[in-house]
Amino acid sequence: MPVNKAARKDQSQDSVLRYLDCAVIKHLHTIIADGKVEPFDTARGLFPEGKELYAGSGFKHKNHIQIAVCNTDCIKGVFLPIAPPQ
């Protein structure tokens, strides 16, 4: 059974390597594909992580969105982000 893991040993916040979450989405996709429901192409999840940016904030230092592409036909291209200036 896959397990979600922290990226670093010293990380005390939410796990960022979501192997179990990925397996759940893949399994759900298989169940849908075997039934009469059309399978989905992508899944998106919001992950609020880290400390609040300010008191009472919904924004956190490590908020991020992850996108899982189940149907690779949806990928039109890839790019590497440009490194920020030093």
User: For tokens 């039934």, what's the residue?
Assistant: 35
Domain annotation covers residue 82? no
Q: What is the mean pLDDT of residues 8-24?
A: 74
Evaluate if residue 15 carries a pLDDT over 70: no
Structural domain containing residue 26: 4-72
Indicate the pTM of the whole model. 0.49
The count of domains in the chain is: 1
Q: What is the mean pLDDT of residues 61-86?
A: 88
Domain annotation covers residue 58? yes
Q: What is the mean pLDDT of residues 53-63?
A: 88
Q: What is the mean pLDDT of residues 35-64?
A: 84
Domain annotation covers residue 78? no
Q: In whole angstroms, what is the distance from residue 21 CA to residue 31 CA?
A: 16
Domain annotation covers residue 10? yes
Domain annotation covers residue 12? yes
Q: Which residues contact 2 (CB under 8 A, 6 or more apart)?
A: 19, 20, 22, 23
Q: What is the mean pLDDT of residues 64-70?
A: 86
Domain annotation covers residue 37? yes
